[in-house]
Structure formats: C-alpha cells, structure tokens
Chains A and B, each alone.
Chain A
Amino acid sequence: MATILQSAVGSEALIHLHGLTREYASRAGAVRALDHISLTIERGEWVAVMGPSGSGKSTLVNILGCLDQPTSGSVRIAGTNVHQLSRQELDRFRSETIGFIFQQFHLIPYLTALENILLAQYFHSMTDEEEARRALASVGLGDRATHLPSQLSGGEQQRVCIARALINQPPILLADEPTGNLDATNQEIVQEHLRTLHRAGHTIVMVTHDPEMALLADRIVDLHHGRIAAERRAGVTPQK
C-alpha cells in the first residue's frame, strides 16, 4: 500500500504514525483506545477521522498534537521523532508546528477575544497586536476584539479559536469536532474557513462524526475500536 511506500521515503510525508497504541489504566484493567495505528498524512492534505464514540478519534488527535503520549509506537511529524523530544523541546515543537481547534473552544475565560489570540503569540514568540487584530478580522470578528468569551456566541468562540490556531502559522491544524457544538449557520461559516485554509495549503486533521463535514476532506479514515477500519477518498462509500 501507499503508506508503506511513503514510510520508506520518511521525511517526504508530514505526519507518519507507525504501530501507534495508547492504553488507559482503568479499574477494569487496561483500556486500549488506539490499537496499532499506522497512518501517513501528506503535506497540504485534509484528513477527516471518523468513527463512533469511543473509537479513539480524540485520542489520535491528542497524540498528534503532543497533548498525549502513546503507550507504544512512533510518531514522526515533519521529520521529527516526537517521543525523542524532551519536555521543553516538546513545548517548543507544539507552538511551532500545531494549531488546535477544540470542540469546546477552550478559550481562557478571563481574557478577551483579542487577548486569547495574543496569548498564543506570546507563547510562540512575541505579541503583535496588529497581526492579532487582522486574524480576528479574517474570521469576521473585527468588532468583537474586546469581548470576553462569555459574551460571545458559540460560533464566535469557535472562530476566535480558529484565529488563535492560525496566528502562528503552524503547518498542521488539528480540529476536534470543530462544528460539534455549533448550529447550521455557524457550521457553515466554520466550514468555509476550513476550506479557505485548505486551499491556502494548510494540513488539516479533523475529527468529526458528521458525514457531510467529512466529505470536505481529501481522505476519510474510519476508526473502529482503536483500529483503522477503512480508508477512502472523500465521496467514496465505505467498504466494511
């Protein structure tokens, strides 16, 4: 298969997962959220990860975002073996490489929309308020800069979240159910933003349970019980 071919070249692919396993200790024994996942994602590709609840979608995205460590297996992102990084290097790597879009938005409640974006700049390098304002304007929230998250609607919060994810121009964008908490109108807006980003050449890994949303992606990966059940081009019906 193509994935094996790609891994031989190594640095060609942006993301390369091999034998990825993640187990959680629980009272009932170890629960295996991911079971030997191997996956390669090309630069500029938009991949949708689908599957029922508990299939390991979020775990996969969290590991890709270095928010979680695999129990075994390797993660190579942009030619870097993630598990070889020290904590400090990992923090640095994350701020350089990854932008997050969360289902629950996860904005800092006591900072305004603008400041939430500034925060991401701050952790990355230095703050540039003009740039942050432009980012906010680009998601259509130019007039909401001084609002606190509690004063914004869900869609607006998600757009702040997108602006925040993009501010440091990370090569990889990770979106965990980006429209999961949104109504149809807002879903539309967010979809449009993602499409623009994809056209601009961003690599997007997106978890979703919405087939319509998944169709926007180049490729769909179906997870089932922590394993890849199917991989297909968008628009092709899954073969079980």
Chain B
Amino acid sequence: MKRARFSLGYIVRRSLVHRRVRSLAALLALTVSAAVATTLLTLYVSLNRQLHQQFRAFGANILLTAPNGSTLPPETLATVRAIAGPESRIVPFAYAVAQTTTGAPIVVAGTDFTAARTMDSWWQVSRWPDAAATTTTVGSPVAAMVGTRAQNFLHSDDFSLTYNGRTLTLHTAATLHTGAAEDSRILISLAAFTAWTGQGASTLEVQASGSAAQVEALLHRLRAALPGVQVHAVRQLVESEGRIVDRTRSLMLSSLVLIALTVGICVLATLTASVLERRRDFAIMKALGSTQHQVALLFLLEAALLALAGAAAGYLLGSLCAFGIGAWNFHATIPPLWQAAPAVLLLNLMVALLAAGLPMRILRTMEPAMLLRGE
C-alpha cells in the first residue's frame, strides 16, 4: 500500500515548503524568541555567581586577626582554607614597626605576594616579584615592595631597617600605590619577615564569594573552628554587595519579562496572521469532508514543527550568545544551561499553539461558505 506516503505530516511538509517565505519568517520569529529566552535565562541563572565574582574586585571581605599583638597559630591558614573552600582567596599578613637608620618608625608587613596579587587587584605595583625572587638567599638584601609614601622616607633603593636590635638589609624591588595605608608601609615576603622578627602572620585576609547569608554562615563556621581568633566581616563590603546584586537581578528579571513578552506577542501576531491567511485552505478541507479535528491537527502540527525547529536553533544561538556575553563582559565561562532547553521548547510551543489555536477558534465559528467567498 502506498497510503503511508500521504499523511498529515506530508501535507504539513508540503505546506511549509510551498509557503517558503512565510515559513521562514515564522521560523525566524520563533528562533529569535527562543534565542532571546535562552540567553536571558542562562544569564539570569548564572548572574548571581557572576556578579558575586565581580565583587572580588573589592578584595577581602573577612578578616581574621590574632588578639592583641600575638601571632596566629601556624595551622590557621590550612584550617581556614579547608573551611572556606578552594575558591576563596586567603592572604596572610604580619606587621611590625621597625626603625629606619634615622630612627623614624615605619610599618613593615610580611605577606605572600602571589596570593596578594590575585586578591588585591587594585594594588598598583611597578613590578610584581616573581615567585622565585621571594625566597631569600642568605646574605643578599631582601627584596622589598615599598609604598609610595614610605619611599619618601628612605634615602636610597638599598636601605636597612632595625627591629628589636636586629638589622635587615633590604632592596627596593618594586613600589606600591593604593591610596590607602599600604602606601606608608614596606612589604617583604612572609618568610623573610619571620626570619627577621621571629613572628608569624597576625592577620588573614579572606575573600569569600557569595551572598551576605553565605558569608555570615562562613563567619560562624570560622569562629567555631578557631576559638581565640577574632573573625570579622568587612561590613562595608558585604552589605553593599548584597544590595547591588539584588538590584541587578531585579533589573535583569524585568528586562527578561519585558523582552520575552514583546517578542512573544510579535511572534504570536505574526503566526496568527499567517494562519488566518489560510482560512481558505481551512474551508476547502472542510468542503472535502475533513473533520474539525483533522484540520485543527494540521494547523497545530505545522505550528508545532516550526516551534520545535525554532526552539532547537534558538537554544543553540542563545547559549552561544550567553557564552559570548559571559566571555566579553564577565571574563568568565557561562556554560549552556540544559534546563533552559525544555523551558524554551515549552515556551515556543505555547506561543505557536496559541497562535494556531486562536484563529482556529475564530474560523470554527464561521461558515465555510463565507471563508470560501474570501471574506
């Protein structure tokens, strides 16, 4: 039998191919709507994470300090890293007030330059020391990063400082400018600092990414794990961050709704017109004895096919678009959101079926004779 060749699917295919321009216009509209929905959904879902990542630009949001003048136990860093997770950044600091050769007091800080470089992105440093240079060879001067203000109080690039009667020879390897307290300090590697003063880190600056509630929970865990250490959130940062992230999310959500609505209505209108235009087809089929269901199925099938194709193309396009925005704006990878695929498909199907269904309701109430006359 050859009857398998002639089916609703076949009629739909012929209809789509025959009315190429209209089909393409409808497909284009459905693809765009799916692409926009995918882009915005993907962006919106990863927005929280991306935004919180951006706030890393402000540096540490948690400070751990040893009580009055003591140093932190050496295992503190490992404990904090275990609790805060691998994504968080931690920079140790040790402070001492040393004397220059003229007897002026100056703050010397010991730190981990590699860690500080990632966290304190606002530090304007003439030349970051490479990791190898921070290990001190005995006898040679210690490489120091000198604050721009502190530099005015040193008489040459090579200088020496005294702490507790012990003199250390240093060499200005780089200058540091931040516009804040660091400008008045001299920074050396923590190892050199400990070798010189006998003291370890007294402060850990921790940067944890997340909402205010997440930071608060982290604070609790740190306090529980490290009794005797003062754990503070940098409130100035944590509070503003939450507000700005919230507002940006609301803004994105409004945009999402607005755009989705506009594109949806445009697509709906386009498809509705395209179906209404075919009222004569509808009437002819009725005259040939088709049932209401058969014609309805035909029109719905056609719309559903377009919606499906549009959703597939739009999902790919939208994921690509979101990826591009992530790479371009956030310098981060926004992976395709697979959950967006069914959502977008559903959205597209709804729009398309609504677009086909609405005119069907109108056509049903009209007598085929009137439709044939071209009313």
Contacts and interface: CB of A to CB of B under 8 A. Distances in A.
Contacts of B294: 123
A65 B2 CA distance: 30
Q: Taking chain B's interface residues, is the majority helix, strand, or loop, or is none over half, making it mixed?
A: helix
B11 interface: yes
Interface stretch (A10-18, A38-46, A47-55, A125-133): A125-133
B372 A128 contact: no
Interface residues of B, number: 29
A120 B289 contact: yes
A67 B2 contact: no
Interface stretch (A86-94, A184-192, A197-205, A229-237): A86-94
Contacts of B372: 62, 67, 102, 106
A217 to B, nearest CB: 22
B327 to A, nearest CB: 44
Q: From B7, B15, B285, B287, name the one whose CB has the most chain A CB atoms within 10 angstroms.
A: B287
B287 A65 contact: yes
Nearest to A109: B18
A150 B287 CA distance: 21
B300 to A, nearest CB: 17
Contacts of B273: none
Contact of A110 (B15, B283, B286, B367): B15
B280 A106 contact: yes
A123 B285 contact: yes
Contacts of B53: none
Given A115-B14, A126-B3, A95 B368 contact: no
B6 A118 contact: yes
Interface in B253-306: 280-281, 283-292, 294
A164 B290 CA distance: 14
B326 to A, nearest CB: 43
B332 interface: no
Given A110-B15, A127-B3, A128-B3, A67 B288 contact: no
Nearest to B4: A127
Given A102-B372, A118-B6, A68 B292 contact: no
Contact of B288 (A58, A68, A69, A120): A120
Given A91-B290, A123-B289, A129 B19 contact: no
B17 interface: yes
> What bracket does the count of chain A residues touching chain B fall in?
35 or more
Interface string A91-127: 1101110101010001111110001001110111011
B24 interface: no
Contacts of B3: 126-129
A54 B285 CA distance: 26
Contacts of A68: 367-370
A59 interface: yes
B14 A94 contact: no
Interface string B2-43: 110111000100110111000000000000000000000000
Contacts of A208: none
Contacts of B11: 111, 119
5 contacts: A69-B367, A100-B288, A110-B15, A123-B288, A123-B294
Given A100-B288, A106-B284, 4 more contacts: A100-B287, A106-B372, A119-B6, A123-B289
Which 8 A-B residue pairs are closest in the complex by CB-CB distance? A95-B289, A110-B18, A62-B369, A68-B369, A123-B290, A67-B369, A91-B291, A67-B368
